[in-house]
């Protein structure tokens, strides 16, 4: 087996036994990037030299700490280019921040660096995390390792594709309306959006502050628990960070799921879901029932309003957050203007892409005088109704199970000129963000030869139940999905 194919826990087992080194593991991952990324285009920036130095330091640290070494020591990781990395370019895949190098690390990076991870690079994304296909990157489109004519999903498409293609052992993304779970489903990996407030947003470049949350992409559920334990925890620098203890999820997820109750929402199996996708998800639900999980139908009646609610709240918050990009303190600045106002207008007109400008305009309109009550205030009221739907369902069940995406990965260019069709890509994921809940997506089969995602949604701060269900299904199904593109890509 190529070392780049290892999971986090498999790699750690070998490292602890002295069967490999972080330096060798890092070289295998860098070789995979060299072999594949000209095709996949997962990375905006590859930090090969820095990675090699970090790997050497990790091996030296392991020699000193031995069995006490942290679980992510020496593991090559990729980070979505929306997370600040001190001294490493952080672009948000936008011309506006094309040359921005942060002077500080995000909290999640401080935590991962304390573990001693190896940063192999920053991954491509939809500009400022606004998109569902990674086609809205200002630089290039990332391609799905399962079929390079198809999208990897978005906005964290680069992070998902990197893990699927073994160009990183794990990665981080951000999820505002499904931007971890949807690309995880389309690329056949595990992706988790923790409860809002579970992971610090300090150092995450803001899109929609009441919706954004950082989470992991991994090759299996065990890795997801390991990475989640490393990045969670209260942070006084983030006013929305919850003072919640971090459980031992890796231990808790192995508990029996017999007797747990899951709800199947009828609203998530309506028009638009591809028959093969529904069949794969239904088969997974049957497998859960065979494990002793009680399955019952539930209703989330305001689901039909979630898309409209999200696309008022998120653009409104984006319009406020992105007002800081004015060409004065940092970022792109137009040089040809004669007046301050012309410079401001040109900077934003030239620095932002079309999708970002579309959402800023929508959000500004929703917040403007005479429209605030009709749009933004009403959306916040409907948001409460959506959260109440979940609360009522969770009075009966422990978790909700449903598809992550109604379709498999679609062709590049198929939806890019149709914003409404693109927005519908997140129909099954964004209610979770609106309600502030945790959600996880994992592979549950193939349709048309492409991965299908199974999604579990849970009560606030009950990631434990989601990981238990996901782990139980993963162990029972026994399948590990890998794209043919990775076979023999880089030999070590």
Which of the residues are catalytic?
A: 80, 155, 179
Give CA–CA dist 363/376, Å, rounded. Answer: 9
Q: Which residues contact 180 (CB under 8 A, 6 or more apart)?
A: 156, 159, 160, 173, 174, 191, 192, 193, 215, 216, 217, 441
Backbone angles phi, psi at 455, to 5 degrees: -115, 135
The DSSP-derived string for 405-435 is: -SSSPPBTTSSTT-HHHHHGGGTTTHHHHHH
Q: SS3 for 219?
A: coil
Question: What sign for the dihedral angle of Cα 179, 448, 272, 411?
Answer: positive
Give CA–CA dist 458/399, Å, rounded. Answer: 5
**ω into 22 cis (within 30 of 0):** no
Tokens 């999980």 -> residue? 293
Q: Which residues contact 317 (CB under 8 A, 6 or more apart)?
A: 206, 207, 208, 209, 210, 211, 363
Give CA–CA dist 106/485, Å, rounded. Answer: 33
Distances (CA, A) of 147 to 7, 120, 164, 449, 485: 22, 24, 12, 9, 8
Side-chain-facing half-sphere of 287: CA atoms under 13 Å: 21
Tell me if 94 sits within 8 A of 128, measured CB to CB: yes
Give CA–CA dist 402/291, Å, rounded. Answer: 17
Give CA–CA dist 455/404, Å, rounded. Answer: 5
């Amino acid at each position: 087996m190529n070392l780049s194919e290892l999971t986090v826990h498999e790699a750690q087992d070998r490292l602890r036994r002295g069967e490999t080194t972080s330096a060798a593991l890092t070289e295998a991952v860098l070789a995979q990037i060299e072999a594949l990324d000209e095709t996949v285009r997962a990375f905006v920036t590859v930090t090969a030299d820095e990675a090699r130095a970090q790997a050497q330091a990790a091996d030296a640290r392991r020699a000193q700490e031995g069995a006490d070494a942290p679980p992510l020591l020496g593991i090559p990781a990729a980070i979505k280019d929306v997370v600040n990395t001190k001294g490493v370019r952080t672009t948000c895949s936008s011309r506006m921040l094309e040359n921005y190098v942060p002077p500080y690390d995000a909290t999640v990076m401080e935590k991962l660096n304390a573990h001693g991870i190896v940063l192999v690079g920053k991954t491509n994304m939809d500009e400022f995390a606004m998109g569902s296909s990674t086609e809205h990157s200002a630089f290039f489109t990332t391609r799905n390792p399962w079929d390079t004519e198809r999208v990897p999903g978005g906005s964290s498409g680069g992070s998902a594709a990197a893990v699927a293609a073994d160009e990183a052992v794990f990665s981080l993304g951000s999820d505002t309306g499904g931007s971890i779970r949807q690309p995880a489903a389309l690329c056949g990996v595990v992706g988790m959006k923790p409860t809002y407030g579970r992971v610090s947003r300090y150092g995450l470049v803001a899109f929609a502050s009441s919706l954004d949350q950082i989470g992991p992409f991994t090759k299996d559920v065990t890795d997801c628990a390991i990475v989640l334990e490393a990045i969670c925890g209260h942070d006084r620098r983030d006013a929305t960070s919850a003072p919640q203890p971090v459980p031992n999820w890796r231990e808790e997820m192995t508990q029996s799921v017999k007797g747990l109750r899951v709800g199947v929402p009828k609203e998530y199996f309506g028009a638009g879901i591809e028959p093969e996708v529904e069949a794969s998800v239904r088969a997974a639900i049957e497998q859960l029932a065979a494990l002793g999980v009680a399955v019952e139908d539930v209703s989330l009646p305001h689901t039909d309003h979630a898309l409209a609610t999200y696309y008022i709240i998120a653009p409104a918050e984006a319009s406020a957050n992105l007002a800081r990009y004015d060409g004065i303190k940092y970022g792109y600045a137009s040089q040809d203007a004669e007046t301050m106002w012309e410079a401001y207008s040109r900077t934003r007109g030239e620095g932002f892409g079309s999708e970002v400008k579309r959402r800023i305009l929508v959000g500004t309109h929703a917040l403007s005088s005479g429209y605030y009550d009709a749009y933004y205030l009403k959306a916040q009221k409907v948001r409460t109704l959506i959260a109440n739907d979940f609360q009522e369902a969770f009075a009966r069940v422990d978790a909700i199970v449903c598809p992550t995406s109604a379709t498999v990965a679609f062709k590049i260019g198929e939806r890019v000129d149709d914003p409404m069709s693109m927005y519908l890509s997140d129909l099954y994921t964004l209610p979770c963000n609106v309600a502030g809940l945790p959600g996880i997506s994992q592979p549950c089969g193939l349709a048309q030869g492409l991965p299908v995602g199974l999604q579990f949604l849970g009560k606030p701060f009950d990631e434990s139940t989601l990981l238990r269900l996901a782990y139980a299904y993963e162990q029972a199904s026994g399948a590990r999905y890998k794209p043919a593109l990775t076979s023999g890509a880089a030999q070590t």
